[in-house]
Structure 1
Amino acid sequence: MQIPDQVNLFDEMVKQAKLHPKKVIIEDVNSSLTYNRFLIAVNIMSKKIHEAVKNEERVGLFLPNVAAHVIVLFSLFKNEQQPCILNFTMGTQNIIDCIETASLKTVITSRVFVKAADLGYTVEEMEKQVKIVYLEDLRDGISTFHKLSGLIESRVSRFKKRDSSQVVLFTSGTESKPKGVILTHRNIYADIQQVFAHIEIWDTDRIFNPLPLFHSFGMTVGAILPLVTNVKVFLYPSPLHYKEVPKAIEKDKSTLFVATNTFFENYAKFATKEQFQTLRIVVAGGEKLQKDVMELYQNKFGITLLQGYGTTETSPIIALNTPEQHKEGTVGKLIPLMEAKIAKVEGVQEGGNLLLKGPNVMKGYLIHGKGFVPCGEWYNTGDIAEIDEEGFIRIIGRLKRFAKIAGEMISLNKVEELALECFGESVFYAVSIPDTRKGEQIVMFTTKPKISSREFKKFIKSKKMSLLYMPSDIKYVEEVPLLGSGKPNYWALENLAKNQ
């Protein structure tokens, strides 16, 4: 497997568009585009963007999960400009921090989206820092000349090799200001090729993507992979529409679907077996796949949920269980061309810090106030993991998801696992907060009312586990706060525990 040194994702899309001009390649709730129509739209939009933001190296995108967002993305690829995809669920201050981190001068958004998502205040604050360009204005300014030249350009098959550019995504910034993650076109293209070599994807497959493009999986697998490999995608505007997503999957006859454990649990409450019958590969990532959710999908839908693992910094996919090779409790084996090593961590008994390298590993970070910091030879995931003799990786927890109690490192993931075993449901969320006597204490939140602390304590004793795994408090919450990516927002829970 060879990954070329220079890749431009627009050029890769053009290759496929020339081969399959009439194939419907991208759909959303309101539109459906063949390769040819998509290419014409990109040619026109790239000209309009160039007129609006001529010489800016980086351009911010503040858009929902719709085909127009992907058109803008590829237009910037064509212009050799760098899209910086802003996470609209991050909160106003974090978004302003992202704008400063990437030194943005212009952000492209949409009036319809800003109104529908109630982001007026955020955009007002952004306007103090950057020029806001609305898609509606770009579209209204399209002349006959733009349309004609877009059409002619799409028919002239002269192939221009563009310089390899990059994309900037932002990490959630729960500990400090958000970091920009710089991914080159080669990083993203490599990850797509590595996945194709690892799991069988056909050009007759249909991807269902409810994940926003600021989420690296939503961007790579849900927006770029389809267009550079000739696999149709349906973009759904929000993963939170639990009743509607199963209906949309049935209507589209989707075969590939990816979400988080939390989302899968909620879809299962409303979905029927018929709605999911066309699904061929269903992958859970972003957070640990819980045993009860896995069993529910097996029993109710006859679907094997395959757990995968990735990070924004690795474009994102690192490891993946496949229909042919999967092992419960693991995230699968490394995708080809990746290397891993485990570094010992003081006080952690099981596994160690997972370090990685490969062609899909980021170029480096953009740090607020510091600028570009290159990635070293090995990327430190900050995840505690172990690799078995067959090469399957088991993630034990985030290094940050350990509490140091009375000098011992206690895994908060393990506390949640024990609660699941004891009470039979995966609705437990453990955080640690400072404690003057023991260093830290564990507070566990649950959406299950009337949990008995005595019963849990008895269960931990019966498992011959240390009582350091027993939370000092178990609190009931009606619903768990989520990040835009669908993972539990532990930072919000931690603040709640501290304030209470």
Structure 2
Amino acid sequence: MNLVETVGEAAAAHPERPAIVYEDRELSYEAFWTRAGQFAQALVDRGLGAGTRVAVYLPNLPQFATAFHGTLRMGGVIVPMNPQYKRRELEHLLGDSGAEVVVTLPDLVQHVEPVRDDTNVEHVVSIGDDAGDVSFEGFLADDTHPVVDRDDDDVACQPYTSGTTGTPKGVLLTHENLHWDADAALDPVPGGVQPEDRHLGVLPLFHIYGMTVTMNATLFAGAAYYPVPEWNAKEVMELIEDEELTLIHAVPAMYNDMVNEPGDYDFSSVRFANSGGSALPMEVLRAFEDRFDVDLHEGYGLTETSPVTHANRVGERRAGSIGRALDGLQARVVTDDFEDVPPVEEGPVDESEVDLSEITGELVVAGPNVMKGYFERPQANEEAFTVEDGTRWFHTGDMAYHDEDGFYYLVDRKKHMIVTGGYNVYPREVEELLFEHPDVKDAAVVGIPDDRRGETVKAFVVPAPDATASPEDIKQYCLERLAAYKHPREVEFVDELPRTTTGKVQKFELND
């Protein structure tokens, strides 16, 4: 199986239909499939073969989809990278993955060039001009390369996620993982995604949610994908109305922005809307449905599961729940001893009236969308899986409970991960940077509530003797070295951090 074969089938069935619509320009399936083949041939012409890592360091643009499917077409592996990343973050991702090609914007080449000597990068392809080694259009070959055969368990994509140590880990997602999950993502949509559908592409394509649920699921079905490179609630709402978009997948912060954006907008064309990436506040769900008369369905997944594992279906929705497990996927709630936690009769429960410790456990899943493993991280792989009676269970790290009807409810995160606007932020990564500042003696990072993002990042800093930096200086220091969503929105100076006798920071005291 090579998952792009399904896109080729859609192109053969609907050659003249729009595959990608961007800034009023339509790219037909026939034209898109040809360009993907030209990108594949360009890689081969440069001596690159199956297994080659190609880093796509782009916002949501048509070229992302071309590079993605072109790379897979010749048997390569995609390494998606957040366009907000700077040199510090790129150096690890490019070095760890061994990527030999980077496709990016001219303005982002400046972050790639300084790390080339320490990585395997040989070719930098820039969109629009020759800021790198060659422009995207100049890179494309005249001929097209056929789809190469790949085994189901061959790696197709290597996105990066972080653990509690803050060290990003490559997630090995296979052709079967991604193909199965894109197919499964069609299930909650009534009747599945249809060729007549027009899908809003506001979820970042470097993120597995956008890659699988919006881009791949849409192209598999022969529908039209509308990429949006930068979030702006007003512009997106106008796009939904003007283009009569039918499908929306977004994160809670985006729905909250739409609820609070003034003006009258017609969403009558929308037949399905889904929220994922972080917990959906009930007040946002109700406000969105009241204003636009569109039901909003919540789902759940992780990078390691390609990503979707649970979803609420039309007519089978339970507010406050992440829904039922996808057909073909197994899910359990277990204790630390891997014993099953019994379900409650019906959820959601009133958390003020029950002892959550008696009904919750860790959510574990098993199925064809679960990753092959972490790239060259044997210890992390050992910790991530439990094999029982021949079934390989993945530990999500999320605490949950479930009810007798099969609905699941998230309660808390087992680890200290912060989810801000749908992005994962691991405190350790920010703390490591803070400790590099000469005016910082000690530091700890936690998530605090935020009306728009769900959570945001706060740093508690113990200043070094004779320090001169202000909290604003510390914030700016982080903003210059990390993606914007990771930097602390608040910095509080304290005399000392609460620690245990073994030296661990008691973060629950900082959250009080």
- Offset of 1:127 from its aligned partner? 2.8
Distance 1:69 1:167 in 2: 13
- Cα deviations by residue, 1:222-267 (Å, 9 ceiling, x for unpaired): 221122221221111123x122111111122111111111111112
Aligned to 2:410: 395
Give yes or no for contact 2:200–2:248 (8 Å, CA) kept in 1. yes
Distance 1:198 1:300, change over 3 A: closer
Relative distance call for 1:206 and 1:315 in structure 2 (3 A) is same
Structure 2 counterparts to residues 112-127 of structure 1, below 5 A: 115=107, 119-127=108-116
Task: Tell me the CA shift for residue 69 of structure 1.
Answer: 0.9
> 1: distance between equivalents of 2:445 and 2:162?
25
Please show how residues 356-375 of structure 1 align to structure 2 within 5 Å.
356-367=365-376
Contact 1:342 1:351 in 2 (8 A): yes
Provide the secondary structure at the position in 1 that maps to 2:177: helix
Match in the other structure for 1:98: 93
Match of 2:328, SS state, is coil
1:396-438 per-residue CA deviation (whole Å, 9 max, x = no partner) reads 1111259xxxxxxxxx99xxxxxxxxxxxxxxx9x99x9xxxx
Q: Which residue of 2 aligns with 1:326?
A: 317
Pick one of 202, 222, 230 that aligns with 1:210.
Answer: 202
Residue matched to 1:4: none
Q: Does the 8 A contact of 1:106 with 1:131 survive in 2?
A: yes
Match of 1:452 in 2: none
> Quick one: structure 1 residues 370 and 49, their matched pair in 2 at CA, closer, same or farther if it must change by over 3 Å?
farther
Q: How far, CA to CA, are the matches of 1:124 and 1:41 in structure 2?
A: 26
RMSD between aligned residues: 3.8
Task: Assess, with a 3 A threshold, how the Cα gap between structure 1 residues 371 and 30 changes in structure 2: closer, same or farther.
Answer: farther
3-state SS of 2:273 partner: strand
Q: Distance in 2 between the 1:381 and 1:72 partners?
A: 30
- Which residue of structure 2 lines up, in the alignment, with residue 280 of structure 1? 271
Match of 2:175 in 1: 185
What secondary structure sits across from 1:141 in the alignment? helix
Residue 95 of structure 1: how far off its partner (Å): 2.0
Give the Cα separation in 2 of the matches to 1:50 and 1:44.
Answer: 10
- Are residues 1:169 and 2:159 paired? yes
Shift of residue 85 of structure 1?
0.8
Identity of aligned residues (%): 25
CA distance in 1, matches of 2:176, 2:326: 16
Q: C-alpha offsets along residues 297-345 of structure 1, whole Å, 9 cap, x if unaligned?
A: 1221112211111111111111111221000110111110010111114
Matched, 1:141 2:150: no
Instruction: Measure the CA separation in 2 of the matches of 1:499 and 1:199.
Output: 50
Q: Provide the C-alpha distance between the structure 2 equivalents of 1:332 and 1:41, rounded to a whole number of angstroms.
A: 38
Gaps of 5+ in 1: 1-6, 403-411, 414-428, 435-439, 449-476
> What is the aligned partner in structure 1 of residue 67 from structure 2?
72
Report what 1:255 is aligned to: 246
Q: Does the 8 A contact of 1:362 with 1:375 survive in 2?
A: no
How many residue pairs get matched? 416
Cα deviation, 1:449-494, whole Å, max 9, x if unaligned, reads xxxxxxxxxxxxxxxxxxxxxxxxxxxx9xx99x9xxx996x7559
Partner of 1:451: none
SS of the aligned residue for 2:320 comes to coil
The answer as to whether partners of 1:101 and 1:369 remain within 8 angstroms in 2 is: no
1:496 and 1:120 map into 2 onto residues whose CA distance is 31
Distance 2:112 2:487 in 1: 24
Q: TM-score, normalised by structure 1?
A: 0.74
5+ residue gaps in structure 2?
338-355, 387-391, 420-424, 432-443, 453-471, 496-512
Mapped contact 1:101–1:368 kept (Cα < 8 A): no
| Residues 222 and 235 in structure 1, CA contact (< 8 A), matched pair in contact too | no
2:380 and 2:492 map into 1 onto residues whose CA distance is 34
Q: Which moved more, 1:379-388 or 1:241-250?
A: 241-250
In 1, the alpha carbon distance for the partners of 2:493 and 2:363 equals 30
Q: Secondary structure of 1:234's match? A: strand
Aligned-residue offset at 1:87: 1.7
Once residues 174 and 267 of structure 1 are traced to their aligned partners in structure 2, the CA distance between those partners, rounded to angstroms, is 33
C-alpha contact 1:177 1:368 (8 A) present in aligned 2: no
Cα distance in 1 for partners of 2:253, 2:270 equals 19
Report SS of the residue matched to 1:400: coil
